[in-house]
Amino acid sequence: MLQDLHVAVRMWQHFRGHIGRMRHQNSPPELAHDCALFLDIDGTLLNFSVDPLGVEVPPGLPPLLRGLAGWLDGALALLSGRRLADIDQLLGAGFAAGAEHGAVLRAGDGAIIAEARPDPALQALRAPLAEAVGRHPGTLLEEKRFGLVLHWRAAPQAQEALTELGQALAAPHPGLVLMPAHAALEIRQRGTDKGAALERFMALPPYAGRRPVFIGDDVTDEPAIARAREMGGMGLHVARDFGGKVEAVRAWLAASLEKGRMDVATLQS
């Protein structure tokens, strides 16, 4: 019995090592010390959950991100659709961030770099959307300052009705735009995207003069993927470059940091 367990453990270790090597072979080249790192959160660093506030954060993730930020002399920023307060709640305060798809940009020292003006049209949509999710059990409305998100991960049958409603309600407002997301539809203000947010950060210290690297997983990430490439860096996609696995992204970041620290130690010795 005990021997069977040992055999099973050895097989698992062998298998895990094999997967690790496969991942390693297909992963992008490791991060360089002179890059500026921009990371989406949901679907890139964290797996999705039914409730966006119920996502699980592995205990090692915040220290990994702090380690990367330190190694890159502060040139790391999170670019997320989430509200600034939610980013801080999930990963801890102290990270530079482009929240709500770049509508709010905050530096690592807490200073607000840029902030859009909330569109009053969005306010008018809150009540009818809240009422609609009340009619579809399992759906929920995420209310942000610059966007409203209808989520139907736990109730996929509601997708059509909620999408039609979102389209109809947003149509009369030229300042609003519809963004499809993973099991969700976001109605948000026009005029900001993660590509513009990345570019804004890149004009400022400590990002300026570095090579931008961005990782994202969604339609809303494509402008930043494109912008990072245009600026001579790497624009990476979770499905295309990491086999669709947030674990592979985290492992790649951890390997880059480990190698980077070893290189620094070698240089200093």
Cα–Cα dist 113/103, whole Å:
10
Which of these segments, 31-39, 42-50, 69-77, 240-248, binds Mg ion (CB under 5 A)?
Answer: 42-50
Min separation Cβ 117 and Mg ion, Å: 25
Integer Cα distance of 76 and 68 in angstroms: 7
217 binds Mg ion (CB under 5 A): yes
Instruction: Label residue 100 left, alpha or beta by phi (over 0 means left) and psi (-120 to 50 means alpha).
Output: left
The answer to whether 223 contacts Mg ion (rule: CB under 5 A) is no
CA dihedral 95→77→197→176, nearest 10 degrees, is -60
Report the nearest approach of Mg ion to the CB of residue 115 (Å): 22
The widest CA-to-CA distance across the chain, in whole angstroms, is 69
Report the residue number, 133 or 181, with the smaller CB distance to Mg ion.
181
119 is annotated as an active-site residue: no
Residue range at the interface with Mg ion (CB under 5 A); choices 39-47, 160-168, 198-206, 239-247 = 39-47
Q: Could you tell me which stretch among 41-49, 61-69, 128-136, 204-212 binds Mg ion (CB under 5 A)?
A: 41-49
Position among 119, 193, 218, 241 found at the interface with Mg ion (CB under 5 A): 218
Site membership for Mg ion, residue 43 (CB under 5 A): yes
Q: Is 102 in the site for Mg ion (CB under 5 A)?
A: no
Which of 34, 40, 51, 86 is an active site residue? 40
- The nearest distance, CB 55 to Mg ion, in angstroms, is 11
Sign of CA dihedral 112, 89, 79, 107: positive
Assess 86 for contact with Mg ion (CB under 5 A).
no
Taking alpha carbons only, the member of 184, 195, 182 closest to residue 147 is 184
* Total residues at interface with Mg ion (CB under 5 A): 5
Q: In the set 42, 100, 119, 193, which binds Mg ion (CB under 5 A)?
A: 42
For residue 152, the Cα-to-chain-centroid distance in whole angstroms is 19
String of contacts with Mg ion for each residue 168-197, x by CB under 5 A: ------------------------------
CB 234 within 8 A of CB 28: yes
Q: Which residues pair with 77 in a beta bridge?
A: 38, 96
Shorter beta-carbon distance to Mg ion: residue 39 or 202: 39
Structure tokens at 236: 């990476």
Q: How far is the CB of 233 from Mg ion (least distance, A)?
A: 19
Kindly state the smallest distance separating residue 250's Cβ from Mg ion, in Å: 14
- Neighbouring C-beta atoms of residue 249, cutoff 10 Å: 24
Q: Alpha carbon 155 to chain centroid distance?
A: 23
Residue whose CB is less far from Mg ion, 79 or 169: 79
The SS3 assignment for 83 reads coil
Give the pairing of strands 184-189 and 96-99: unpaired
107, two tokens: 């530096």
Residues with a catalytic annotation lie at: 40
Binding site for Mg ion (CB under 5 A): 40, 42-43, 217-218
